[in-house]
Chain A
Amino acid sequence: MKIIVAIKQVPTRDSQLNVADGGKWIEEDDLTFEINEPDAYALEEALQLKERDGEGEVIALCLGPSRATQTIREALAKGADRAIHIEEEQLEGLDTLGIAKLLAAAVKAENPDLILTGLQSDDFGYGQTGVVMAELLGIPHATIIMQVEKQGNAIKVKRELEDGWFQNMTIPLPALLTIQSGINKLRYATLMGIKKAKTKEIKTVTASDLGVPQGASATLDKVYMPQRTKQAVIFQGGDDPAKAAAQLVEKLKFEVRVI
């Protein structure tokens, strides 16, 4: 199978976020970035599918600024065969639909059997890039997938529903799946993998190369820290953890009454 995995680079999870001047986005200068975690599981699933089949190709597809090259290299080091980087420094004017249009345009030329991506991104969290791509490409999709098994010209998947329910479904190929975190065990890149990655192809294209009209149907006006709606009683445990612990136990004993 020819599998494309759409991956995204996002700020690392522990990042302290500060709103940038102008209030339209966050300050990025001091941030470090990593692969969006659900996308890491999607990549791993693609690699395992290829290994199980004993043949095929895994192509990493990433839309992002030049710094995303690092995340692409890591995907290649883990085992992706080659990569496509849609390099754009300014993505602010795009909404998820615009992003999916760019990704779909890049996919079209490749004609893959299967497209995988994480179920959502840790930054925007729209949770729909994959679904929109599938619709733009005219192929079926399934979301929040916990298991993938190839069956001839189709795939059988286990989809996660709410409250501990699941559902099996069979989808004809080509198809798109959004992958749930935890579906597999992530591998680390080996030294050999890192070495090999340097020789693998990264094809760089731009939005204008793809000829996709720009624009957004929902525009991001402003980002800001959420207002506290409910004031918690906070104890500072930084300097004197024992004192904070004693203060909390007092509350648990006399107000919550569980001790």
Chain B
Amino acid sequence: MSSVLVVLEQQGGKWHRMSWEALAAGAELAGKLGLSVDAAVVGKGVGTLAGEAAQKSIGKVYAVDHDLLASYTADGYTAALEQLIQQTKPAFVLFPHTYQVRDFAPKLATRFDRVLVSDVISIEAAGSGVTFVRQLFQGKLNANFAASTGAFASIQAGAFRAESLAAGTAEVVNFAPSVDASVIRIQAEAPFRESSRAVDLTAAEIIVSVGRGIKEQDNIPVVEELAAALGAELAASRPICDAGWLPMERQVGSSGQTVSPKVYIAVGISGAIQHLVGMKGSKAIVAINKDENAPIFEVADYGIVGDLFEVVPALVAEVKKAKA
């Protein structure tokens, strides 16, 4: 009987937390289809990690082990997983939608003449067919994609609950792929961090964060004033830092800092997933946006629909009044 295979992610012997969310998605899909769910962990000397994964209520854990898999390369991972999939013939293959998965999973899927249905937020199953739900237009729209047996999909951060996985005892299966040094064309150096961060947003109780809605650099003082009135740290979504309007170290999101202040005030931020993953753990979220359909309102507790250039100055005045 075929199964749902979930490829977990580890780096330097440490799990990527999204691995368990993807495994939860796999368990849910397998449950709907009446299949079992298996996991795979790739690297060098991953026996211990495989043992940890085997403490979940799943079928098998494949320890895909090879010296040339010690550090990640798209070529090495693709070669190894291609062999595992050919041998085990899973009904569906799921991944966490991480930067690393984005780097190799489309290549792997192409080897099987398949597309990777990426960044999936929910899965529906009817008969042997599966519908993957994913977002379009940076979260403004949802779309259903129908895929048949053999499909590949990656799971969005936070879409499934890792806690839903029950404890159990799974069988660990060692899988030794044949990987030749010549297939790995890229020479990768060790990962590094640019410099220690001068701004630690994670300690802030109140954050005022600004996005594209601010339109131009000359308008930044509009939100600076609000931050000053509230005694808040100023943060931004990626495009603002890309444009150099605020320093990179003030960026919140998947490539910036992850914050959970008492209140996060998102000004002119539409709420693309890359931003949401960095702030949705905030105790309270306030959104100010002119588009009432902006995805940011999905995660907000309070919102003002309106022109930020009218709303924010009014807010500054009200905050000052309340504090007086």
Contacts and interface: CB of A to CB of B under 8 A. Distances in A.
A191 interface: no
Contact of B193 (A97, A166, A169, A258): A166
A152 interface: no
The majority secondary structure among interface residues of chain B is mixed
A225 B75 CA distance: 38
Most central of A168, A228, A241, A255 by chain B CB within 10 Å: A241
Interface in B105-133: 105-107, 109-111, 113-119, 131-132
B107 A170 contact: no
A19 to B, nearest CB: 8
B298 to A, nearest CB: 6
Interface stretch (A53-61, A65-73, A245-253): A245-253
Interface in A151-185: 160-172, 181-182, 185
A97 B115 contact: yes
Contacts of A144: 99, 102-103
A237 interface: yes
Q: How large is the interface on B (under 10, 10 to 19, 20 to 34, 35 or more residues)?
A: 35 or more
Given A128-B105, A132-B110, A241-B307, 17 more contacts: A96-B106, A97-B109, A97-B114, A100-B110, A123-B136, A123-B137, A140-B185, A142-B74, A144-B99, A169-B186, A181-B238, A222-B143, A232-B303, A235-B303, A248-B315, A252-B319, A258-B262
Interface of B: 74-75, 98-100, 102-107, 109-111, 113-119, 131-132, 134-148, 151, 185-194, 197, 205-206, 212, 230, 238-239, 241-244, 254-258, 262-263, 283-284, 286-288, 291-293, 295, 297-307, 310-311, 314-315, 317-319, 321-323
9 contacts: A17-B141, A125-B136, A128-B102, A144-B103, A225-B142, A228-B297, A237-B306, A244-B306, A245-B304
* Closest 4 pairs (CB-CB, A-B): A237-B306, A182-B242, A128-B106, A245-B314
